[in-house]
């Protein structure tokens, strides 16, 4: 699969582009790259972070989400801290929704932090077919 960034409101950094391409290169279906912090213990609040990057079958980015868990085990419910929804051109920050094309600076700050963490080996990576995730969402 190739990465299609033609419809994004601003360019991806070469670092983020390389990370995504590395993990979708052999994929022929829509997938979610799931990055879990791997360097800290589960009891540490900082370690309870999750980043998802969803890529469609044509290689276009659907969204990038940064989650954290809000409570101690076993009732850890993920809370979306930051969500860049490329299909809707929206950025979500906790309760605030803003047009994505106005958020290049904030996206680049998030991107820089994520790429730096990835480069030092802070993440365990899992690739999930997008259909599996859709099956987990209850109909409602």
The DSSP bridge partners found for residue 139 are: none
| Of the listed ranges 54-58, 63-67, 78-82, the one predicted with least confidence | 78-82
Helix (H) or strand (E) holding 83: strand 78-85
Does the structure show a pLDDT above 50 at 19? Answer: yes
- Claim: this prediction has a pTM higher than 0.75: yes
Number of domains in the chain: 1
Residue 70: partners with Cβ closer than 8 Å, 6 or more residues away: 76, 77, 78, 79
> What pLDDT does 37 receive?
80
pLDDT band at 57 (very low <50, low <70, confident <90, very high): confident
Judge whether 34 lies within some domain: yes
Range of the domain at 125: 14-69+77-130
Is 104 a member of any domain? Answer: yes
Q: Is residue 86 part of a domain?
A: yes
Is residue 98 a part of any domain in this protein?
yes
Residue whose structure tokens are 């791997």: 38
**Rounded Cα–Cα distance for residues 63 and 55 (Å):** 8
* Rounded Cα gap, residues 66 and 79, in angstroms: 9
List, for residues 35-51, the tens digit of each pLDDT value: 988 765 555 544 457 89
Does residue 6 belong to any structural domain of this protein? no
As beta bridge partners, residue 37 has 123
């Amino acid at each position: 699969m190739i990465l299609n960034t033609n419809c994004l409101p601003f360019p991806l950094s070469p670092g983020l582009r390389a990370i995504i391409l590395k993990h979708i290169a052999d994929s022929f279906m829509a997938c979610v790259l799931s990055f879990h912090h791997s360097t800290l213990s589960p009891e540490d609040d900082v370690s309870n972070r999750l980043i998802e990057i969803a890529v469609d079958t044509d290689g276009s980015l659907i969204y990038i989400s940064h989650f954290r868990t809000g409570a101690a085990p076993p009732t850890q419910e993920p809370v979306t801290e930051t969500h860049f929804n490329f299909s809707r051109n929206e950025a979500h920050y906790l309760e605030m929704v803003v047009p994505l094309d106005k958020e290049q600076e904030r996206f680049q700050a998030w991107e820089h932090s994520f790429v730096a963490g990835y480069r030092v080996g802070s993440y365990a990576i899992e690739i999930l077919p997008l259909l599996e995730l859709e099956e987990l969402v209850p109909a409602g």
